[in-house]
Amino acid sequence: MNSKKNTIKHSFLPYGCQSINEDDIAAVVAALRSDWLTTGPLVGEFEKAVADFCGVRYGVAVSSGTAALHAAMAAIGIGLNDEVIIPAMTFAATANAVVYQGGQPVFADVEADTLLIDPVSVEALISKRTKAIVAVDYAGQPCDYPALRAIAEKYGLWLVADACHSLGAEYGGKKVGTLADCTVFSFHPVKHITTGEGGMVVTDNPELAEAMRRFRNHGISTDHRQREASGTWQYEMVELGYNYRITDFQCALGVSQLSRLPTFIDSRRRIASHYSEAFSPSSAILPLAIHSEAASAWHLYVVRLLGNISREAAFRQLRERGIGVNVHYLPVYLHPFYQRRFATRLGLCPVAEAAYATILSLPIWPGMTEEQVHRVCETLALVVSEQVTSPQQDVSGARLVKP
């Protein structure tokens, strides 16, 4: 990266950013110089490394987190008109993967304090067509999986974890990856580790793993490396699949990144702790609650702006001052596609809608400096204080705490 780009990066703080070191670069270069650029040995090495980290038997690496969600929906047999319950507060890909399979996403409301899927809302939505629940670990905090597992077992449903935000998190002392029938990760640059683009599903179920391996490879039962090893050219396409393969050089980056994941998570938790301490005196800046059983991986640090504070104005003012806040997310069913296709409407999930009007995601990534964290706190406090419209209103902003 040249000096000009470095200057831009330091003057504007994005909400997320990758961390690449010389070991990562060397690993990718070595893969590029090898005999295998795709379907080679590094794919399996990366799959095993992530599965071992999570404490499960199988990993299936694919080209993106979205591909991983799609592979999971295909493997559990989602088909025409099957219903899958998902939270309203998530990225569109969670719902899209259901639609790709001809299914219908059914949107559950979220808990007001965590913005995680509400088990009470989930159970109220179950019908004869319901086939699965997809729990989204919003912002990096695992959902209440014991409650969701009890519902899934009661009604004979699959439980899938969309853990694209929560690699390395835990619930009740159990790692994400072990809490559902299958668990989906994303390796986009803003996530906990990156392969550029990439994703993975981990599971203890050998049938699901095998189905997803075929699905990522056009529905073909063997890949090129397997045929090379057995000395044959013959292959069979046994079902409809996609080209969702990931490259070896991406997996080389993933293996290298995974070695630093504990350090990355420690950094995210340190930054989150300082944010929470800084904002604790303010009645206008409210961070998300954390369940007592949860250890968040802090993919996002989300706050709600309360009282008479305008989220839209705060968003604009913060970005004008170089703080790259973002908003995660518009409830999925309010996107035009879902309103047209499924006749969804405003009012479907009132808790999620109310939260959407107030939330901001603040910058958080492992490479943030103490000065950058302090700058975010100071700038948000200033923006909030500038919006105070009444001297009686207690919106004095955040206490400025340097990490």
- Is the residue at 8 inside a domain? no
Show which of 258, 282, 298 is a domain's final residue: 258
Helices 65-75, 206-215: inter-axial angle, 10-degree rounding: 120
CATH number at residue 328: 3.90.1150.10
* Domain contains 6: no
Sheet with strand 301-305: strands edge to edge: 285-287, 301-305, 359-362
Per-residue confidence (pLDDT) for residue 249, from 0 to 100: 98
Same domain, 286 and 379: yes
Same domain flag for 187 and 271: no
Residue 180 CA to residue 148 CA, distance in Å, equals: 9
Calpha distance 247→256 (Å, rounded): 15
79 and 116 assigned to the same domain: yes
CA-based R_g, the chain, Å = 22
**Is residue 9, in this structure, part of any structural domain at all?**
no
User: Which of 4, 131, 174, 191 is flagged as catalytic?
Assistant: 191
Q: Known catalytic residue: 191?
A: yes
Do residues 67 and 162 share a domain? yes
Is residue 397 in some structural domain? Answer: no
State the total domains in the chain: 2
Alpha-carbon distance values, 349 to 28, 95, 133, 354, 373 (Å): 44, 15, 17, 9, 33
Tell me the residue range of the domain where 215 lies. Answer: 19-258
Q: Does residue 293 share a domain with residue 170?
A: no
Beta-bridged to residue 160, according to DSSP, are 134, 182
In this structure, are 342 and 313 located in the same domain?
A: yes
Question: Which residue type, as a one-letter code, is found at position 56?
Answer: V
Residue 402 inside a domain? The answer is no
Q: Are residues 121 and 203 in the same domain?
A: yes
Residue 90 has a pLDDT of: 98
If asked whether residues 167 and 211 sit together in one domain, one would say: yes
In a domain, 281, yes or no: yes
Say whether both 92 and 226 belong to one domain. Answer: yes
Do residues 101 and 36 both lie within one domain? yes
CA 354, CA 109: separation in Å to the nearest integer? Answer: 11
Give the separation between CA 188 and CA 253, rounded to whole angstroms. Answer: 12
Q: CATH number, domain at 125? A: 3.40.640.10
Would you list the DSSP string of 339-376?
A: HHHH---TTSSHHHHHHHTTEEEEP--TT--HHHHHHH
248 inside domain: yes
Indicate whether 278 belongs to any domain: yes
Looking at residue 231, what is its pLDDT? 73
Residues 266 and 180 in one domain: no
| pLDDT score, position 388 | 72
What confidence score (pLDDT) does residue 223 get?
A: 74
Residue 318 has, within 13 A of its CA and on its CB side, a CA count of 29
Structure-token pair, residue 90: 């998530």
Q: What's the pTM? A: 0.93
Check residue 389 and give its pLDDT.
53
pLDDT mean for each 10 residues of the chain (403 residues): 41 95 98 96 98 98 98 98 98 98 98 98 98 98 98 98 98 98 98 98 98 96 71 83 98 98 98 97 96 98 96 97 98 98 97 98 97 98 83 43 41
Are residues 299 and 233 part of one domain? no
